[in-house]
Homo-oligomer: A and B are copies of this chain.
């Protein structure tokens, strides 16, 4: 048992001037900040803080105030009386206080505060006489009664609000502050009765009783249901507890030389270095926030109260300088005297975040490293997307043109003509029409249409559905899972309730918010390149990061964007995306059907001839593709992945064919075309797979049909030699997908080297590497490294196989619920699962480098553009991440932050 003396000796209460501002743990955030501002000599209303230790003692003892606390509070109040020259509860010259909560970690709006405490009828009368302003005094009294009833006594606030509204309505005023003194007095009395009636307890008149109850109420609010939920959501310990700050009141509502306001030391939207804010004359702070009256722009204050404004501007800059960051400051002016009530880092838009970080560093307020840590990497991405003009969007909403809100799957705003199939999308886009492609869901066959569209909308699927993933890769705005929308492809319309948009009519989607509008909305385009501040910040990032940043790009347009955003190479060029081009699909289908047939009946020369013809045709096309990419990339490395998806993905779908045939047959058709379709159906049936993700794809295709890989390698080598004649030194690297056994790679390395020799002669060497995307490849990486100059982690497939989660199925069926129910902390297709998939990456890195010391290591799954995952990739020592072009700026910044944070620890 601890000796009572120890408790008695403990200091529970610190005045602002006396407290150590670094003790956030003891004083809470607000207490520490008030102490800090006081120590800086800023005009802070005096007050004191009751510590979090007192809170813990209160809780541990079963809600008894700690021994000695009350004595210390009384002493602190006396000190406050001396400082302010006012007396608590003295009608002649009354001191009022606010009682404020404040934990060490900010929980905005979660806990309680009581203002204007210390008032009662006689004090109110005194205050009226003292200030010569009866309306003011009664307004303060009314505010106190209302707040104390709500916060301390727990009266349902709607009861009190209803009384006030009724009075306002009856008296024909819009705000209770505008009531006459008699009416206000009447209202106060009505509120007191209502409170007594509701909870059986009156608002005490004795100021110290008010104070004690308010302190208890703030302590107790730590355990309110919403505070507990907030802490659980944010992973804040329930043991921290809250401090309580008691602050002497200052009155922005005293008269027309008083006001309350909020300011940002720089523009929170643009980052411009100019004070930005608003204020309300003759009002308390809560009125500014509540939005019941319209505040004035801060700039007007320079005219209205030039002296105070100047002091405010100076103080704001002092604060910014002290905290080395843009501040959001709450202030009150009481009869032309300025008080600062609160300051904190100002929330800001992505643009402002970047600009102020750069500006602050250039002004010497922070270092460049600090600037790098001030911007969320994701904010780089937000600046590269079109957005809707806010005004036009509001108008559309008011006009009832908002159809539905789906899942914001790939940010950016887009407006265009509605199309419902990929071919029409490609055709119209080719004629310069901006189109939005709407589908129930998308598949590989829709990709060319998606690439041609300005945006994509699906009624099914989630944030990692095919549509979402492809759209993000393409940098296209996308809304998925818009269940409120019916998509009718056959009849050519989408509908939500009574709003119907027909094919060819305007539709707009916001891929950030998920909104869908049945009309065109004006979009605001961001610059197509990095602006000055972004370029500056990313230049600093490049000096710090050790992780390379490459991009995934499948064609020259992507490649150009990648270079524009600073990519150092292409980490993943998916050759199959070239195959999906509708102009080529027929050749690709011939290739696949004849390849399949010619292995089934090798004696049949017709199949073989068709196969070789298709190979030759595709070799020409792919050579031209690669030339385009190499030109854009200059001397930068380009990792080309050989054909990966299951071949039958390029063929018509079995069920579509079967249904079509059944219909025609039932309709009595008996044509040669139908017979041909039936033959095709038989082949499709032979090739189709139970689980295509785990089927005949990737290197397995290369092993069964070596001619296809050989053709692709030849196209790569020929393209490299062709651009050489233009003075471009191409650096292709050849990557084999879906390897699970070292022998697969060893065989294909032979195929690839032979094709290189056949095309370029001996002496030409290319880096040959492997995608590590099966668990077995990761576990046997040492052996695989013997045939590979580089590894690139395919974390999408690695996640699928490690979890046995089919991405296509998981999203719609169970993944959302898993994240919602906290079974998984995040969608593992967005943020790398460090425990499972991460440990495979780690195992493979170690074994691979041990087997081949110079082995290059990269990652080309979508996690390459995710900041949290990038931190991990930095930690395991990858050489580079590769992500979609539009995420390159994100990755550059995230890589720099990872390096800085790793060095800091």
Residues from chain B with Cβ under 8 Å of A802 in the complex: 740, 774-776, 779, 801
Residues from chain B with Cβ under 8 Å of A690 in the complex: 692-693, 806, 808-809
Q: Is A154 an interface residue (CB 8 A)?
A: no
Q: Is A4 an interface residue (CB 8 A)?
A: no
Residues from chain B with Cβ under 8 Å of A833 in the complex: 776
What are 16 A-B interface contacts by the 8 Å CB criterion? Answer: A659-B662, A689-B813, A691-B692, A693-B694, A694-B805, A700-B813, A700-B814, A703-B814, A704-B814, A704-B817, A740-B805, A775-B775, A775-B801, A776-B804, A776-B836, A779-B839
The 8 A CB mask of A734-775 against B (1 = contact, 0 = none) is 000010110110010000000000000000000000000111
**Interface size bracket, A side:** 35 or more
Residues from chain B with Cβ under 8 Å of A700 in the complex: 813-814
Please measure, in the bound complex, the distance between the C-alpha atom of A500 and the C-alpha atom of B823, giving whole angstroms.
57
Of A234-242, A664-672, A709-717, which binds chain B?
A: A664-672
Q: Determine whether the beta carbon of B804 is less than 8 Å from that of A738.
A: yes
Q: Could you tell me the distance in whole angstroms from the C-beta of A224 to the nearest C-beta in chain B?
A: 28
A689's partner among B664, B809, B837 (CB-CB below 8 A) is: B809
Q: Determine whether the beta carbon of B808 is less than 8 Å from that of A691.
A: yes
Q: Determine whether the beta carbon of B814 is less than 8 Å from that of A804.
A: no
A664's partner among B666, B693, B806, B821 (CB-CB below 8 A) is: B666
Within A557-604, the residues touching B (CB, 8 Å) are none
Residues from chain B with Cβ under 8 Å of A780 in the complex: 835-836
Q: Is A658 an interface residue (CB 8 A)?
A: yes
The 8 A CB mask of A517-561 against B (1 = contact, 0 = none) is 000000000000000000000000000000000000000000000
Q: Main SS of the interface on chain A? A: helix
Pick the 8 closest A-B CB pairs, nearest first. Answer: A694-B806, A776-B836, A666-B666, A691-B806, A690-B808, A775-B775, A695-B809, A663-B666
The 8 A CB mask of A662-692 against B (1 = contact, 0 = none) is 1111110000000000000000000001111
Q: Determine whether the beta carbon of B744 is less than 8 Å from that of A823.
A: yes
Q: Could you tell me the distance in whole angstroms from the C-beta of A671 to the nearest C-beta in chain B?
A: 15
Residues from chain B with Cβ under 8 Å of A660 in the complex: 662
Most chain B CB neighbours (cut-off 10 Å) among A704, A783, A823, A840 = A823
Q: Could you tell me the distance in whole angstroms from the C-beta of A740 to the nearest C-beta in chain B?
A: 4
Q: Is A797 an interface residue (CB 8 A)?
A: yes
Known: A704-B817, A743-B824. A693 touches B691 (CB 8 A): yes
Most chain B CB neighbours (cut-off 10 Å) among A776, A824, A833, A836 = A776
A804's partner among B704, B774, B839 (CB-CB below 8 A) is: B774
Residues from chain B with Cβ under 8 Å of A695 in the complex: 806, 809-810, 813
* Closest Cβ neighbor of A804 among chain B residues: B774
* Closest Cβ neighbor of A664 among chain B residues: B666
Residues from chain B with Cβ under 8 Å of A804 in the complex: 693-694, 738, 740, 773-774, 776, 797, 801
Q: Is A654 an interface residue (CB 8 A)?
A: yes
Known: A662-B659, A664-B666, A809-B696. A803 touches B740 (CB 8 A): yes
Please measure, in the bound complex, the distance between the C-alpha atom of A715 and the C-alpha atom of B666, giving whole angstroms.
47
Residues from chain B with Cβ under 8 Å of A805 in the complex: 694, 740
Q: Is A605 an interface residue (CB 8 A)?
A: no
Please measure, in the bound complex, the distance between the C-alpha atom of A664 and the C-alpha atom of B666, giving whole angstroms.
7
Q: Is A822 an interface residue (CB 8 A)?
A: yes
Within A796-833, the residues touching B (CB, 8 Å) are 797, 800-806, 808-810, 813-814, 817-818, 821-824, 833
Q: Is A655 an interface residue (CB 8 A)?
A: yes
Residues from chain B with Cβ under 8 Å of A743 in the complex: 822-824
Residue ranges of A at the interface with B (Cβ–Cβ < 8 Å): 654-655, 658-660, 662-667, 689-696, 700, 703-704, 738, 740-741, 743-744, 747, 773-776, 779-780, 783, 797, 800-806, 808-810, 813-814, 817-818, 821-824, 833, 835-837, 839-840
17 additional contacts, CB 8 Å, given A689-B813, A704-B814?
Answer: A654-B655, A662-B663, A667-B667, A690-B692, A691-B693, A693-B694, A694-B804, A694-B805, A696-B813, A700-B814, A743-B822, A744-B823, A747-B823, A775-B802, A776-B804, A776-B833, A801-B801
Known: A692-B691, A704-B814. A666 touches B655 (CB 8 A): no
Residues from chain B with Cβ under 8 Å of A800 in the complex: 694
Q: Could you tell me the distance in whole angstroms from the C-beta of A811 to the nearest C-beta in chain B?
A: 11
Residues from chain B with Cβ under 8 Å of A814 in the complex: 696, 700, 703-704
Residues from chain B with Cβ under 8 Å of A773 in the complex: 804
Please measure, in the bound complex, the distance between the C-alpha atom of A783 and the C-alpha atom of B839, giving whole angstroms.
14
Please measure, in the bound complex, the distance between the C-alpha atom of A802 and the C-alpha atom of B779, giving whole angstroms.
9
Most chain B CB neighbours (cut-off 10 Å) among A689, A700, A703 = A700
Q: Determine whether the beta carbon of A694 is less than 8 Å from that of B776.
A: no
Please measure, in the bound complex, the distance between the C-alpha atom of A663 and the C-alpha atom of B837, giving whole angstroms.
47
Q: Determine whether the beta carbon of B817 is less than 8 Å from that of A779.
A: no
Q: Determine whether the beta carbon of B662 is less than 8 Å from that of A840.
A: no
A658's partner among B655, B703, B779 (CB-CB below 8 A) is: B655
Please measure, in the bound complex, the distance between the C-alpha atom of A797 and the C-alpha atom of B805, giving whole angstroms.
12
Q: Determine whether the beta carbon of B824 is less than 8 Å from that of A741.
A: yes
Please measure, in the bound complex, the distance between the C-alpha atom of A738 and the C-alpha atom of B802, giving whole angstroms.
11
Residues from chain B with Cβ under 8 Å of A821 in the complex: 703, 747
Please measure, in the bound complex, the distance between the C-alpha atom of A780 and the C-alpha atom of B805, giving whole angstroms.
16
Q: Could you tell me the distance in whole angstroms from the C-beta of A178 to the nearest C-beta in chain B?
A: 47
Residues from chain B with Cβ under 8 Å of A704 in the complex: 813-814, 817
Please measure, in the bound complex, the distance between the C-alpha atom of A655 and the C-alpha atom of B655, giving whole angstroms.
5
Q: Could you tell me the distance in whole angstroms from the C-beta of A825 to the nearest C-beta in chain B?
A: 9
Please measure, in the bound complex, the distance between the C-alpha atom of A817 and the C-alpha atom of B664, giving whole angstroms.
39
* Closest Cβ neighbor of A837 among chain B residues: B776
Residues from chain B with Cβ under 8 Å of A837 in the complex: 776
Please measure, in the bound complex, the distance between the C-alpha atom of A692 and the C-alpha atom of B821, giving whole angstroms.
23
Q: Determine whether the beta carbon of A823 is less than 8 Å from that of B774.
A: no
* Closest Cβ neighbor of A660 among chain B residues: B662
Q: Could you tell me the distance in whole angstroms from the C-beta of A466 to the nearest C-beta in chain B?
A: 9
* Closest Cβ neighbor of A805 among chain B residues: B694
Please measure, in the bound complex, the distance between the C-alpha atom of A352 and the C-alpha atom of B654, giving whole angstroms.
53
Please measure, in the bound complex, the distance between the C-alpha atom of A654 and the C-alpha atom of B656, giving whole angstroms.
11
Q: Could you tell me the distance in whole angstroms from the C-beta of A154 to the nearest C-beta in chain B?
A: 34
Please measure, in the bound complex, the distance between the C-alpha atom of A690 and the C-alpha atom of B659, giving whole angstroms.
19
Please measure, in the bound complex, the distance between the C-alpha atom of A833 and the C-alpha atom of B776, giving whole angstroms.
10
Please measure, in the bound complex, the distance between the C-alpha atom of A692 and the C-alpha atom of B658, giving whole angstroms.
21
